[in-house]
Each structure stands twice: as C-alpha cells, then as structure tokens.
Amino acid sequence: MFKKIIFFTTAFTFVVVVVGAFVRLTDAGLGCPDWPGCYGKPTPVHAATDIARAVAEQGGTHGPVSIQKAWHEMFHRYLAGTLGLLILGIAIAAWVKRKALVQSPWLASTLLLLVMLQAALGMWTVTMLLKPVIVTLHLLGGMATLALLTWLAMRQVRAGTPVADAAWLRPWAWLGLALLVAQIALGGWVSTNYAALACIDLPTCHGEWMPKMDFQHGFQLLRELGHTAAGDKLSYDALTAIHWTHRVGAVVVAFYLAWLSWRVARVSGLRAVALIIGLLLVGQVSLGIGNILTGLKLAVAVAHNAGAALLLMALVVLNFALSTTSHKPES
C-alpha cells in the first residue's frame, strides 16, 4: 500500500505541476486575489458577486479577473491541498513503518517540509502580485517535489539487479540533471516575466544572432512584475535578454543530454531509460520551437511545461539507477 500511494502521489504531483503551468499561462494567477479562499469564500460560486464587481471595475473579462480564471486558480489550490495531505500521510507512514519498510524516513520528511514551503510560496505568489522571483521559486518548488517523489518511488522498486560497470557515468548524469534544472529555472523566468514571445523569429532573434539586450534589468531578481527594481517599466531589451538566454540554454542542454543519452544507451541495463530521455528531448525541443511558430498556443505551451517535468523525472530515474552501479571504471 505504501508503494501504491507513493506512485499515485508522484503521478498526482505531475498533474499539479501541469495544472499550475496552465494557470500561469492563462493569466489566472490573480483570479482570486486573496489566499487560501476566493474573496474570503471557499469557492468562486460563493464569491460570484465579488468576482462580478471586480470584473466590472477592470472593464471586462479581458483582465486577470473572471469567473473562469477564478475557477482555474481555485482548482489548482484544491489539487495542491490534496497533494499536501497525501505527502503528510506518506511522511507519517514512513516514520511509523520505518522498520518494516527498511528505509530512512528522512526523504519523506523533507518532502513534507518542501510542500509546506510550497504552500507559503503559493500564498506569496498571490499576495505579492505575481512577483517574478516568487512565481519562479514556486515553479521550482513544484519540480523539486516531483523529483524527490520520483526518487522515493524508485526506492520502492525492488525488482531487477543493479546495473554493472556504469559508475563512471554518475557525475555526468548528475551534471545533466543540474543543467536541466538550470534550464527549467530559465524557462520559469521567461514565463513569469511574460517574455516567451520577446523573439518571434527562428533561429535568430529580431533578425540578429546577438540582438540588443538588457541583462542587468532582465535578471534583477528583487523587482515587481513588468518593472525594474527602481520602479521603471521593464524594457523590451530586458525581455529579449531573458528569452535569448533561455534559447542559448536550450541549445547547450539539448546537445549535452543527447550526448548523455547516447553514452547511457551503450549500457545494456540502461538502454530503456536512455531511449526515453532521447525521445523526450526531441519532443521538448520540438515543443519549444512550436511555441514560437504558433505564437505561444496554449496547448503547445502547457505541453512544453509537461515535457520539462517528464524529462526531469527521467533524469532522476537515470541517476537513481546509476546510484546502484558497481565502481568498475569504463573499459
């Protein structure tokens, strides 16, 4: 039962991450401007009068407030709350049954602390009016929760034998995971600053390989959405710098993970995970290009976020598998 709950919670976390991306991409992050309720009510139905008043004040449903966006936001909160309860149950079971499970309960405890931090970041996302650094940290927290749950799920898989003669790949696999996390952070920074369409041509940006960019203001962390730290309006050059950096990161990560999956595929016990990483990588690059070609079509953008989560899970599985390898060096 413990194993089934962990696998279910891992899949559920993936859903929460994807729904969170959907909320962000539909500009529904402020669909309910308070937390944890919606205008102090448990559902948008109960807050219908307040929402209608807010819609009238903003001049129509084109702004951040509408009944539909309120439902998007609250649905994500309901899912996140359910996830928190599931992780609480896992942490309790990990401690109560630690002798029978024959595994340390500290990973489950770390997950519980992480999901509590996620709740705080979710609150600050709303109360701080979508401040980019908070929203990006919230995204990374969700990805970290998914990664740790994937590792915990792999612990429950006791079938099979350790992969031999592949220990030399460990540092390269960890580097691949680190590069992917950095690229996910860059992608989050693009999304939270609404810079996904700062460059609308490929492979150049504004017809140039090195367009005019403002890195100083683009990568200032402590600032409000759409503004510099000094309060001035964030320039288009700053948005271009954010987008361009993510593109360059995508090229670096794509080439590295392609090389890594090729080397991993040469190890007989890891060929399946290498194939999965390779296929996900091709899909993720294609979706990234598709975001530009389709003008950030919602389905493509959400799929791009889902692809990043799946690729992260695959890299975690690879690193877990390599953690059980022998120490014989490469021949």
Q: Which residues are catalytic?
A: 73
On the 0-12 / 13-18 / 19+ scale of CB atoms within 10 A, 268 is exposed
Q: Alpha carbon of 89 to those of 14, 42, 75, 96, 144: distances in Å?
A: 18, 24, 21, 10, 19
Contact 315, 176 (CB under 8 A): yes
Length of the chain: 331
